[in-house]
Structure 1
């Protein structure tokens, strides 16, 4: 399993509450490797391997690919809170 552990927002949008403002996502792999990937690359990965990446915050929702007609992006599967858990990763793994 791959977990999203942090997000970098686009320049000038550091505290945005919009998943479209995410620039890249830190991924932690089951072998312990950690890397950063652009949201568009993760979008493409999820088209081929759906449900292969989860947000590293309980209840560990899956990342799902989305597009608005112009922009490819990812968001977390909605949960009972209605908030996107992916945005809770702003500030990195020590932000929680």
Structure 2
């Protein structure tokens, strides 16, 4: 299992609380674009999780505008767990 340990928001969205505004995610000591992770997860589902208990898995999502992004599986927490990771 691979884990997301931090996120980077888009340049104009540094303080956004919206998970589809994440531009890059820190996985295995590398910053990866959300579109690349989307494609990877389509081929390798359930292979990446958020490094916060209860360690929800990442899922690929598509905005209504056709933009690829990722989110964490829903759990008892109302907010997406990705948004609770450190922002770099």
Residue 91 of structure 1 deviates from its aligned partner by 2.2
Aligned partner of 1:87 in structure 2 is: 83
Give the length in aligned residue pairs.
Answer: 87
Deviation track 1:52-88 (CA, whole Å, cap 9, x = no partner) reads 0000000000000000241000000011012100111
Pairing 1:74–2:75 present: no
Deviation track 1:36-59 (CA, whole Å, cap 9, x = no partner) reads 100000000000000000000000
Extract unaligned runs of 5+ from structure 1: 29-33
Contact 2:5 2:26 in 1 (8 A): yes
Structure 1 runs of 4+ off > 2 angstroms? none
Aligned partner of 1:31 in structure 2 is: none
Select between 9-18 and 36-45 the one with higher mean Cα deviation.
9-18
TM-score by length of 2: 0.93
Aligned partner of 1:11 in structure 2 is: 11
SS of the residue corresponding to residue 39 of structure 2 reads: helix
- Aligned alpha-carbon RMSD (Å): 1.0
TM-score by length of 1: 0.86
